[in-house]
């Protein structure tokens, strides 16, 4: 799988069309020119979500009311596909080959994994970042799972509304029991699907890590909030029982206390929890390991590699880690890296394509320019 080209209009400060190489693509330039914006546009095209904002209208260029992105994706021997996203206010429309498609059908056409400073929250931040990481991974293997997560979140939202009404005295406990029962029935079914999908994905990641993909004693484990509460092998029955026992507590809290929205992923290095005890370097290495494991799992499922995005690579990783990472990715993934230090990547001149980003425009170096730079003439 690789992204052959992308065209943008009114997205942040970007403009124009860029043709990408199937291997390593290095985007360089001064700070504030739009390097990260290009990575964001690629990730948005792949996942219909931005890794920088939950409010898509923030990505529309100042003074404009809409933005659009379009890219050509090549997958194996299949015919190239055109993916497009239109953004207006805080809504999005997704298209495949010019035909509007729901997001659930759109997802899976292009998959990206990214390493950014904010993505380090997967290792050092709260459980929500780790749950999102797992849900993206599960969706990459089974796109309909995105609908499962969406349905689960809707049920949680509706149930929370009832609990808040009970807390405010708008309905009594007996009324709550009757009104909440159908939502809990849905919650049991959807929770079981989420729990099993995440648990299986963590098992696959753990197996990939054990193959020593940058591993260095890293271990992971899925932590269910129902652990030690009963038999997780009979998840539906356990959920049903816990929902019954905790209804009063949920009402007094005005919140949903039971379900996989409270689960977590434990990430340990040499038996130490990296969130609490890991150094900055260990946390970065752990995220790289998780990303490489996710790439490996994706390849095992689809027999092709996703694309990989690395923002501000020389600021986030030291030289040795960059060298090892790019060596591993070489010949596997289409990789996009941003840097303010073009000369840092001189050693990759023969196998990388270079793009200078200036005021939102990405211009590819010619072979002549690359040769001249390597010989220190320019």
CA distances from 275 to 18, 237, 265 (A): 38, 32, 11
Q: Are residues 36 and 159 in the same domain?
A: no
- Alpha-carbon span 28 to 33, nearest angstrom: 9
Q: Are residues 106 and 194 in the same domain?
A: no
CATH number, domain containing residue 142? 1.20.1050.90
CB within 8 A of 181, min separation 6: which ones? Answer: none
* Residue 196, domain member (yes or no): yes
| Of the residues 279, 305, 331, the one at which a domain ends | 305
The sign of the dihedral angle between the CA atoms of 232, 234, 239, 244 is: negative
* Residue 107, domain member (yes or no): yes
| Of the residues 254, 270, 305, the one at which a domain ends | 305
* Residue 117, domain member (yes or no): no
State pLDDT tens for residues 128-163. 999 999 999 999 999 999 999 999 999 999 999 999
Which domain covers residue 131, as residue numbers? 122-305
* Residue 22, domain member (yes or no): yes
140 compared with 372, residue with greater pLDDT = 140
- Alpha-carbon span 199 to 264, nearest angstrom: 11
Torsion angle in degrees (nearest 10) through CA of 169, 175, 177, 181:
-120
State pLDDT tens for residues 29-73. 999 999 999 999 999 999 999 998 888 889 999 999 999 999 999
Residue 370 confidence class, pLDDT cut points 50, 70, 90: low
* Residue 202, domain member (yes or no): yes
Q: State the residue for tokens 């939950």.
A: 54
> What is the per-residue pLDDT for 377?
41
Looking at residues 358-370, what average pLDDT do you find? 79
Q: Are residues 314 and 295 in the same domain?
A: no
Question: Judging by beta carbons within 10 Å of its beta carbon (0-12, 13-18, 19+), is residue 327 exposed, middle or buried?
Answer: exposed
* Residue 9, domain member (yes or no): yes
- Strand-pair category, 335-339 with 112-115: unpaired
> What is the per-residue pLDDT for 376?
52
Total of domains in the chain: 2
CATH number, domain containing residue 318? 3.40.50.300
> What is the per-residue pLDDT for 313?
82
CB within 8 A of 237, min separation 6: which ones? Answer: 230, 231
Q: Are residues 204 and 320 in the same domain?
A: no
Q: Are residues 205 and 277 in the same domain?
A: yes
Residue 378 confidence class, pLDDT cut points 50, 70, 90: very low
> What is the per-residue pLDDT for 89?
81
Query: Smallest Cα–Cα separation from 86: which of 53, 47, 45, 121?
Result: 45
- Alpha-carbon span 89 to 67, nearest angstrom: 9
* Residue 175, domain member (yes or no): yes
* Strand residue runs (E) in the chain: 2-9, 16-19, 24-28, 66-74, 81-88, 91-96, 99-101, 112-115, 218-223, 264-269, 272-273, 307-310, 335-339, 352-358, 361-364
Q: Are residues 100 and 160 in the same domain?
A: no
* Residue 116, domain member (yes or no): no
> What is the per-residue pLDDT for 79?
84
Q: Are residues 79 and 204 in the same domain?
A: no
Looking at residues 73-97, what average pLDDT do you find? 91
Q: Are residues 251 and 301 in the same domain?
A: yes
Q: Are residues 143 and 279 in the same domain?
A: yes
Q: Are residues 299 and 326 in the same domain?
A: no
314 with 341: CB under 8 angstroms?
Answer: yes
State pLDDT tens for residues 282-339. 888 899 999 999 999 999 999 999 999 999 887 777 777 787 888 888 889 999 999 9
Q: Are residues 231 and 219 in the same domain?
A: yes
Q: Are residues 263 and 372 in the same domain?
A: no
Dihedral class, residue 212 (left if φ above 0, else alpha if ψ from -120 to 50, else beta):
left
| Of the residues 268, 283, 305, the one at which a domain ends | 305
> What is the per-residue pLDDT for 310?
93
């Amino acid at each position: 799988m690789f992204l052959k080209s992308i065209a943008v209009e009114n997205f942040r400060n970007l403009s124009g069309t860029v043709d990408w190489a199937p291997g390593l693509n290095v985007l360089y330039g001064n700070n504030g020119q739009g390097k990260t914006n290009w990575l964001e546009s690629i990730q948005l095209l792949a996942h219909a979500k931005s890794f920088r904002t939950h409010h898509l209208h923030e990505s529309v260029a100042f003074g404009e009311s809409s933005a659009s992105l379009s890219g050509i994706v090549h997958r194996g021997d299949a015919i190239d596909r055109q993916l497009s996203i239109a953004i207006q206010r805080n809504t999005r429309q997704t298209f495949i080959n010019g035909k509007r498609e729901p997001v659930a059908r759109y997802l899976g056409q292009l998959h990206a994994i990214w390493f950014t400073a904010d993505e380090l929250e997967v290792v050092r931040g709260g459980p929500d970042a780790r749950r999102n990481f797992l849900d993206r991974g599960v969706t990459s293997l089974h796109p309909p799972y995105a609908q499962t997560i969406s349905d689960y979140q809707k049920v949680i939202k509706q149930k929370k509304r009832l609990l808040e009404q009970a807390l405010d005295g708008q309905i009594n406990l007996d009324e709550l029991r009757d009104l909440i029962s159908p939502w809990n029935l849905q919650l049991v079914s959807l929770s079981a699907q989420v729990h099993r999908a995440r648990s299986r994905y963590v098992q696959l990641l753990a197996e990939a890590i054990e193959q020593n993909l940058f591993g260095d004693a890293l271990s992971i484990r899925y932590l269910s909030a129902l652990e030690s509460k009963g038999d997780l092998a009979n998840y539906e029955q356990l959920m049903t029982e816990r929902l019954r026992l905790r209804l009063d507590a949920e009402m007094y809290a005005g919140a949903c206390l039971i379900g996989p929205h409270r689960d977590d992923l434990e990430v340990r290095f040499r038996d130490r929890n990296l969130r609490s005890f890991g150094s900055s370097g260990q946390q970065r290495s752990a995220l790289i390991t998780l990303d490489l494991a996710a790439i490996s799992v994706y390849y095992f499922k689809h027999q092709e590699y996703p694309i990989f995005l690395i923002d501000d690579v020389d600021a986030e990783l030291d030289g040795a880690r960059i060298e090892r990472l790019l060596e591993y990715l070489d010949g596997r993934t289409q990789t996009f890296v941003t840097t303010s230090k073009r000369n840092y990547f001189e050693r990759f001149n023969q196998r990388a394509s270079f793009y200078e980003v200036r005021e939102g425009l990405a211009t590819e170096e010619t072979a002549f320019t690359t040769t001249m730079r390597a010989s220190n003439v320019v």
